[in-house]
Amino acid sequence: MSETGTEQYNFKIVRSFAFSALFWLVIGLIVGLWIAFEMFNPALNLAPWLSFGRLRVVHTNGLGLGFGLAGIFATSYYILQRLTRTALPFPRLAQAHLYLFNTTIALAALSLMAGMNTTKEYAELEWPIDIAVVVFWVMFAINVFATLIKRREKQMYISLWYIIAMTIAIAILYIVNNLEIPVTLFKSYTVYAGANDANVEWWYGHNIVGFIFTVPILAMFYYFLPKSTGLPIFSHRLSIISFWALNFAYLWTGAHHLMLSPLPEWIQTVAIAFSIFLIAPSWGSVINGYYTLQGNWEQLRTNYLVKFFIFGITFYGLQTLQGPLQGLRTLNAFFHFTDWVVGHVHMGTMGWVTMIISASFYYMIPRITGNQLYSIKLANTHFWLILVGQLIWTITMWIAGIQQGAMWKATNPDGSLMYSFLDTLTSLYPYYRLRFAAGVIYFAGILIFVWNLIMTVRQAPQKDEAEQPIQNKELQSWG
Amino acid sequence: MGITSKPVVFAVLSAAVILIGSTVTVFIPLFMPSTQPVSAYVKPYTSVELEGRDIYMREGCNNCHTQTVRPLRTEVLRYGEYSKPEEFAYDRPFLWGSRRTGPDLNRIGGKYPDSWHYRHMQSPQSMFEKSNMPPYGWLAKNRLDTSNSYKKTSILGYGFSEQDVQVQISQYRSKVTADTYLSKETRDLVTPAELHHELTEMDAIIAYLQKLGRDVKNLETKK
Ligand code: HEM
Ligand code: HEM
pLDDT tens digits, residue range A118-130? 999 999 999 999 9
Average pLDDT over residues B82-99: 97
Can you give the pLDDT at residue A1?
33
**CB-based burial of residue B98 (10 Å sphere; 0-12 exposed, 13-18 middle, 19+ buried)?**
middle
Residues of B in contact with A193 (CB under 8 A): 36, 88-92, 94
Confidence category of residue A464, pLDDT binned at 50, 70, 90? very low
- The amino acid that residue A404 corresponds to is Q
Indicate whether B87 pLDDT > 60: yes
Share of chain B above pLDDT 90, in %: 95
3-state secondary structure A364-413: HHHHHHCCCCCCHHHHHHHHHHHHHHHHHHHHHHHHHHHHHHHHHHCECC
Neighbour tally for A458: CB within 10 Å: 10
- Chain A partners of B146 at a C-beta cutoff of 8 Å? none
Task: Report which ligand 2 atom has the smallest distance to the Cα of A341.
Answer: 13
Nearest CA, atom 37, ligand 2? A345
pLDDT at A463: 52
pLDDT tens-digit map of B107-141: 999 999 999 999 999 999 999 999 999 999 999 99
pLDDT higher than threshold 50 for residue B45: yes
Is the distance from CB of B54 to CB of B90 less than 8 angstroms? Answer: no
- Spacing, Cα A215 to ligand 1 middle (Å): 20
Under a CB-based contact definition with an 8 Å cutoff, are residues A82 and A3 in contact?
yes
Protein residue whose Cα sits closest to atom 34 of ligand 2: A345
pLDDT of A2 higher than 80: no
Q: Do residues A270 and A252 lie in contact, with contact meaning Cβ atoms separated by under 8 Å?
A: yes
Quick one: three-class SS letters along A155-223? CCCHHHHHHHHHHHHHHHHHHHHCCEEEEECCEEEECCCHHHHHHHHHHHHHHHHHHHHCHHHHHHHHH
Cβ pair A286, A238 in contact under 8 A: no
Lowest mean pLDDT among A139-148, A341-350, A453-462: A453-462
Q: Contact, A90 vs A146, CB < 8 A?
A: yes
Express each pLDDT in A86-106 by its tens digit.
999 999 999 999 999 999 999
Distance of CA A133 to the CA centre of its chain: 17
Q: Measuring from each residue's beta carbon to the nearest atom of ligand 1, which residues come in under 6 Å?
A: A 29, 32-33, 35-36, 39, 56, 59-60, 63-64, 67-68, 341-342, 345-346, 349-350, 353-354, 439, 442-443; B 98-99, 101
CATH hierarchy code of domain B38-222: 1.10.760.10
Of B30, B60, B66, the CB nearest to A117: B60
DSSP codes, chain B = --GGG-HHHHHHHHHHHHHHHHIIIIIHHHT-TTTS---TTSPPPPHHHHHHHHHHHHTTGGGT------S-HHHHHHH-S---GGGGTT-SS----SB-SS---TT-TTTS-HHHHHHHHH-HHHHSTT--PPP-GGGGGSBP--TTHHHHHHHTT----HHHHHHHHHHHHHHHHSTT-TTHHHHHHHS-GGGTTS-BHHHHHHHHHHHTTHHHHHHHHH-
Minimal C-alpha gap between A263 and chain B (Å): 7
Which pLDDT score, from 0 to 100, does residue B1 have? 55
- pLDDT digit string (tens) for A256-270? 999 999 999 999 999
Q: What is the pLDDT of residues A401-429, one digit of tens each?
A: 999 999 999 999 999 999 999 999 999 99
- Ligand 2 atom nearest the C-alpha of A122 is 41
Q: Which of B69, B41, B40 is nearest to B218 (CA)?
A: B41
What would the pLDDT profile of A306-350 be if each residue is shown by its tens digit? 999 999 999 999 999 999 999 999 999 999 999 999 999 999 999
CB contact under 8 A, B92 and A416: no
- For residue A88, CA distances in Å to A7, A99, B204 come to 12, 17, 53
Question: Going by CA atoms, what residue is nearest to atom 8 of ligand 1?
Answer: A32
> Cα-flanking dihedrals φ and ψ of residue A266, to 5°?
-65, -35
Residue A287: pLDDT band (50, 70, 90) is: very high
| Model pLDDT for residues A188-240, shown as the tens digit of each residue | 999 999 999 999 999 999 999 999 999 999 999 999 999 999 999 999 999 99
How high is the mean pLDDT of chain A? 94
Residues of chain A with pLDDT > 70: what percent? 94
Interatomic CA distance for residues A132 and A127, integer angstroms? 9
8 Å CB contact of B62 and A115: no
Distance CA B58, CA B93 (A): 12
Ligand 2 atom index nearest CA of A349: 30
pLDDT of residue A18: 98
pLDDT at residue A462 in the model: 57
In contact, A357 and A71? CB cutoff 8 Å: yes
Residue A469 has pLDDT above 90, yes or no: no
Residues of B with CB below 8 A from A409's CB?
74
pLDDT band at A476 (very low <50, low <70, confident <90, very high): very low
Give chain A's domains with CATH numbers.
10-460 (1.20.210.10)
**B4, B17, B25 ranked by CB distance to A248: nearest:** B17
Starting from the CA of residue A355, give the closest ligand.
Answer: 1
Q: Does the interface predicted TM-score (ipTM) exceed 0.90?
A: yes
Give the model's confidence band at B223: pLDDT under 50 very low, under 70 low, under 90 confident, else very high. Answer: confident
Q: Are the beta carbons of B135 and A164 separated by less than 8 Å?
A: no
Average of per-residue pLDDT across A10-20: 97
- Say what the pLDDT of residue A479 is: 31
Mean pLDDT value of segment A156-176: 97
CA of A6 to the centre of ligand 2 (A): 39
How far CA A139 is from CA of A21, A65, A84, A142, A144, in Å, comes to: 18, 16, 19, 5, 9
What is the pLDDT of chain B when averaged over all its residues? 96
CA dihedral A138, A139, A141, A144 (to 10 degrees): 170
Q: Whose CA is nearest to atom 19 of ligand 2?
A: A345
Band (A461; pLDDT cuts 50, 70, 90): low
Instruction: For residues A50 and A45, give the distance between their C-alpha atoms in angstroms, rounded to a whole number.
Output: 5
Nearest alpha carbon to residue A140 among A41, A227, A69: A69
Question: What is the structure's pLDDT at B221?
Answer: 86
